[in-house]
Amino acid sequence: MASFATLAPLAPQTTTKTFTSSFTTTSPTISSWPLFSKKCSLNNSLKHKVSCNADNSFDRRNVLLGLGGLAGAVNLSSIPSSAAAPIAAPDISKCGTKSLSGFKQVEDTATVKGTPTGGDCCPPDSSQILDFQFPKNQAFKIRPAAHLLSPKYIAKFNLAIKRMKELPEDDPRNFLQQARIHCAYCNGAYTQSSSGFPDIEIQIHNSWLFFPFHRWYLYFYERILGSLINDPTFALPFWNWDTPAGMTIPKYFKDPKSALYDPKRNPYHLNAVVDLGFDGKDKDTTDIEKVKNNLGIMYRYMVTNATDPEGFFGKPYRAGSSSAGSGSIEQNPHVPVHRWVGDPREANGENLGNFYSAGRDTLFYCHHSNVDRMWSLWKMMGGKHVDINDPDYLNTSFVFYDENKNLVRVYVKDSLLTKKLGYDYQRVDVPWLKSKPVPRAPRSGIARKLAGTVKQTNDVSFPVKLDKIMKVLVPRPKKSRSKKEKEDREELLIIDGITYDSEKYVKFDVYVNDEDDKEASSPDQSEFVGSFAQLPHKHKGKMESKASFRAGLTELLEDLEADDDDNVLLTLVPKSGCEDITLENIFIVFA
Please tell me the number of Cα atoms within 13 Å of 259 on its side-chain side.
18
Catalytic (active site) residue 48 = no
Distance in angstroms (rounded) separating the CA atoms of residues 514 and 522:
11
- 269 in active site: no
- Tell me which of 36, 147, 175, 182 is the catalytic residue: 182
Tell me: is residue 147 an annotated ligand-binding position: no
To 5 degrees, how large is the angle CA 115–CA 118–CA 123? 60
To the question of whether residue 368 is assigned a binding role by annotation, the answer is yes
Measure the CA–CA gap between 196 and 198, rounded to whole angstroms. 6
**214 annotated as a binding-site residue:** yes
Residue type, 64: L
| Contact of 314 with 207, CB cutoff 8 Å | yes
Q: Are strands 397-401 and 407-411 parallel, antiparallel or unpaired?
A: antiparallel
Catalytic residue chosen out of the listed positions 147, 367, 368, 537? 368
Instruction: Give the residues across from 552 on adjacent strands.
Output: 492
Q: Is 367 annotated as a binding residue?
A: no
DSSP reduced 3-state for 307: coil
539 counts as catalytic: no
> Which value, to the nearest 10 degrees, does the dihedral of the CA atoms of residues 241, 247, 249, 251 take?
-130
At CB < 8 A and 24+ separation, what contacts does 162-171 make? 162/259, 163/228, 163/229, 164/224, 164/225, 164/228, 165/110, 165/112, 165/113, 165/259, 166/112, 166/113, 167/113, 167/114, 168/113, 168/114, 169/113, 169/114, 169/115, 170/114, 170/124, 171/114, 171/124, 171/405
Catalytic residue among 269, 338, 367, 385: 338
Let me know if 205 is a catalytic residue.
yes
537 appears as a binding residue in the annotation: no
Q: Please indicate whether residue 355 is annotated as part of the active site.
A: yes
> Would you call 214 a catalytic residue per the annotation?
yes
Q: Taking a C-beta distance cutoff of 8 angstroms, is the pair 361, 352 a contact?
A: yes
Catalytic residues: 182, 205, 214, 334, 338, 355, 368
Please give the annotated binding residues for Cu cation, written as ranges: 182, 205, 214, 334, 338, 368
Please give the annotated binding residues, written as ranges: 182, 205, 214, 334, 338, 368
